[in-house]
Structure 1
Amino acid sequence: MRLTRRTGWGAAAVGVAAALALTGCSSSSATESAATGTAGATAAATTAALTPVRLQLQWFTQAQFAGYYAALEQGFYKAEGLDVTIVEGGVDIVPQTVLADGSVDYAIAWVPKALASREQGAGITDVAQIFQRSGTLQVALAGSGITTAADLKGKKVGNWGYGNEFELFAGMTKAGLDPATDVTLVQQQFDMNALLSGEIDAAQAMTYNEFAQVLEATNPATGALYQPSDFSVIDWNTEGTAMLQDAIWANTEKLSSDKAYQDTTVKFIKASLEGWIYARDNPEAARDAVVAAGSQLGNSHQLWQTNEVNKLIWPSKAGIGMIDEAAWKQTVDVALTTKNDQGASVITKEPDAEAHTNEYVTKALAELTAEGVDVTGTTFAPLTVTLAAGGS
C-alpha cells in the first residue's frame, strides 16, 4: 500500500540502504537467514495476491480525504484483498480525466465538474457519494450586513472560478440578482487575504479549509486569533443552491463489461466507507494518518478539517455513500440552468442514466451492516476544535 505524489510539492521520499557485514557463519545465523528469506518470500507472495488499485485524489494530501488515508493505514483495503496506491492531486490535475484515460482505477471529484467532463466524453460513473452536503461558503466580516445571497448586491464578491463558482452564481440568481451587473466580481486567490485586507466584501471558502484559515489569523483589533463570531457566512445548503461534491468515480465501460472490476468496485467502496467510519469515530487518529501521509498543513488545521468533513457526511440517513436522488437532481438543475460571468453553464444537457448508480455502494453497505458496522452515524456529534495560529 503506497502513497504517490503526482507533483513535486512536498518532501521527496528518500531510500536508505543498510550494509550487512558477515563476520562468520554459525548454524544459528544460517537458520535466521533462511527464516528471513522465507518470510520475505511469503510477504512478496501475499502482496502479489492482492489486487492493485490506484485512487486519484483531486487535491493535495489533506483531511478532505481522511477516510481513504485511514482505510490505508488501518488495513481496510488489504483486508478486502486490495493493494491501494493513493495518488495525490494538485492544481494541474483533473482527477476525472486521469480516471477516464485509464491511468487510475478510481477518482475523487466534485459531481458538477465530473459531469462536465462526462459530457465531453469521459466515461466515468459516480458509484458512491461520500459528501452528502456542500462545504462551500461565502464569508464576510460580521457587521457587513451580508448574511444571505441577496445581501451581496452592490458588494465586491470574490470567487475562485475554475468551476467552483456555480453555487454562488445560482444563489445570486435565485435571490434576484444579476451577477453581471448587481455585484462586482473579483478573481480570488485560494486564500482569505483579500477578505481580511478589505479588498473584497465576501470571499469564497470551504468549511474545512479556507474558513479555518481566517480563524488561524490574528485579529489586529484584539491581538488574538479571529473567532467565528467575527464573521458571517452564506451557506448554499441553506440558500438551496448547494451542489454535490466529493464522490468516488469509476470507469463506466469497465463497470458494464468487466466482472472483476465490478467486484473490485464493491470491495474498494466497502473499505473506503470503513475508513470514513473510522474517521468519524476516531477523528484524532484519522488526522494523524493524514499528517503521517505527508500533509503540509498543521495538526490543528487537519483536526478541524477532519471534523468539518465529518459534518458533511454524518449523519447519513440512507447510509454513507448512497446517492440521494433529490440532491443529485438539484445538482444537475443548477449545473444546467446557472450561467457564470462568461455566460457558460456547467453542462448543456441532462446526464444519461450511467452517470450515477447506487448498485455497488448498496452491496458494500449490506456487507458492512451484516458485520455490525454503523453506516448511518445517527448519533454523530462533532468535536469542538481549537485552532492554533497558522494551523500548527
Structure 2
Amino acid sequence: MPRFRIFTAVAVATALLAGCGTADQNTTTPAPGGSGGALAPVKLQLQWFFQAQFAGYIAAVDQGFYQEQGLDVQLLEGAVDIVPQTVLAQGKADYAIAWVPKALASRESGAGITDVGQIFARSGTYQVVWKDSGITSPAQFKGKKIGNWGFGNEFELFAGMTKAGLDPGKDVTLVQQQFDMQALLKREIDAAQAMSYNEYAQLLEAKNPQTGKLYTADDFAVIDWKTNASAMLQDSVWANTEKLNDPAYQQQTVKFLLGTIKGWAFCRDNAEKCRDLVVAKGSKLGKSHQLWQMNEVNKLIWPSPAGIGVVDEASWKQTVDISMTAKNQTGDTVLKKAPEGLAYTNDYINQAITQAKAAGIDVTGTSFQPQAVTLNEGGS
C-alpha cells in the first residue's frame, strides 16, 4: 500500500478529488453481457501492485468467473501515487479496492463511493518489535522510535497508542518507514509496521548474520491490533454511489461480486495455484513469499460466518469510532463526524451470495484450515 506522511491520505484524496466532474458518474452502465453476448467492460482499481493480496480478483479473471457473468474485467494495478477510491470517484474505474478508513476519509472530502463488499473480515496489521526489547504492548512505545508508513496505513497504530494513553506527537518519535523491514533489522527503530501477509514475512526471510540461518518468529514479538480493539476494516470493494441508482449498474455489481466470490473461494481451496497466477502476473515477490501471503490473506477472509463480503456492523462501528477518536501527532482524527449517506450496503453482496450458494460455492469457508508455509531466503 502507498506510503507518505502521517494522515496525508485525506489531503491527497481531497486534492485529487478537486475538479472531479460528474459526467463519467452519470453515464448509463451497459447491461452485463450486452447484446449479442458481448462482454461488458469493467475496470477494477487495485490499491497496490499485483500480489496475493489481490489473488481472488486475479483468479476470477484467469478462471473465467467474471466472463461467466458477462463481464470483461480489467485489473488496474496500483502504485504509490494512486488513490483507488479517488480513481473510482473520478469515473476512471467501475470499482476499487481500498481500506475502509481511507475510503471514509475520501467520502468525507466529497467522494461518492459505497462499500458493497467487505472482502477482508479481519485486519492484517501488526507492529513488530525485537523480542529482546521487552516491548509487549503499545503503552511501552513511550520514548521509543516507532516506524509507520503513513498515507492512511497508520490509523490502527494511532488508535492503539491513543487507547494506551500516549500522545503520538509527544510520547514517541515517529519514523517514516520504507516498505521493507531493514530499519527494524538494523535496529534503527524500535517497532515496525508490518502486514501479516507481507512485511512480517520479510523478517522471516532474512538471514541472521550471527547464525547464518533465517530469523524465526521466536526472534520477534508481534502486537496484533485485533487483540486490543484497535483493528479497523481493510480491503473492500467500493462502488460509485451515484451509479448505484442505475439498475444496470446494480445488476453489474451483483455479477461482479459473484465472480469475485468465486475467485476468492478458488484461492481458498487452491492456494498454490493462485500463488502461481500471481507470480505469472508479474509480481516481483518470490514464490514462497507469495504462498505465505496467499495463506495469510485467506486467514483474513475465512471463515466468514455471514458469507464472504458481508459488512459486519460491529466491525464497521469500531472502524468508524476509531476514525473519529484516534488522534495523530497533530491531534487530528481521520473523520470529523460519522459517515453520512450510503457508506455501505449489504444488498448486492447478499444477492451474490445467494446465487453463489445456488451454484454450490462454499461462501463461509467454515472448514478452512491455514497451511504451514516454509519461507525461503528472500522469499524465493
Q: TM-score, normalised by structure 2?
A: 0.89
1:71 is paired with a residue of what secondary structure? Answer: helix
Q: Share of identical aligned residues, percent?
A: 68
Deviations 1:334-384 (A, max 9, x none): 111111113221111110240100000000001111222111111110011
Partner of 2:275: 287
Deviation for aligned residue 1:175: 1.3
- Give TM-score scaled by structure 1 length: 0.87
Report deviation, 1:151: 2.0
Residue matched to 1:297: 285
Which of 349, 365, 386 is the equivalent residue of 2:337?
A: 349
Q: 1:318 aligns with which of 299, 303, 306?
A: 306
CA distance in 1, matches of 2:289, 2:214: 14
**Match for residue 202 of structure 1 among 191, 195, 218:** 191
Which amino acid is 1:215 matched to?
Answer: L
The answer to whether structure 1 residue 379 and structure 2 residue 367 are counterparts is yes
Aligned with residue 67 of structure 2, among 62, 74, 78: 78
Structure with max Cα Rg: 1
- Which one of the candidate residues 91, 94, 112 is aligned to 1:123? 112
Contact 2:162 2:327 in 1 (8 A): no
Greater Cα shift, 50-59 or 181-190: 181-190
The residue type paired with residue 314 of structure 2 is A
The 5-angstrom pairing of residues 146-225 of structure 1 reads 146-225=135-214
**Distance in 2 separating the partners of 1:340 and 1:317:** 34
Do the aligned partners of 2:125 and 2:225 also contact (CA within 8 Å) in 1?
Answer: yes
CA offsets 1:254-297 (integer angstroms, 9 cap, x no match): 102x1111000000001001100001000000111111111111
1:6 matched residue in structure 2:
none
Q: Distance in 1 between matches of 2:298 and 2:360?
A: 20
Give the AA of the match of 1:238.
T
| Match of residue 264, structure 2, among 255, 271, 276 | 276
The residue type equivalent to 2:210 in the other structure is A
Deviations 1:224-267 (A, max 9, x none): 011111110000000111010000000000102x1111000000
CA displacement at 1:47 relative to structure 2:
9.4
| Aligned pairs for 1:251-270 within 5 A | 251-256=240-245, 258-270=246-258
Map Cα deviations across residues 135-182 of structure 1 (whole Å, 9 max, x no partner).
Answer: 110000112111221221222111111111111111011112222222
How far, CA to CA, are the matches of 1:348 and 1:88 in structure 2? 31
Q: Deviation above 3 Å: which 4+ runs of structure 1?
A: 45-48
Aligned residues: 347
Following superposition, the deviation at residue 319 of structure 1 comes to 0.5
Unmatched runs of 5 consecutive residues or more in structure 1: 1-44
The Cα of 1:48 is off from its aligned counterpart by 6.6
Find the aligned partners of 2:88 and 2:191 in 1 and give their Cα distance.
35
1:183-238 deviations in Å (ceiling 9; x for gaps): 22212112111101011111000011100111111011211011111110000000
Alignment of 1:326-341 (within 5 A): 326-341=314-329
Aligned letter for 1:149? P
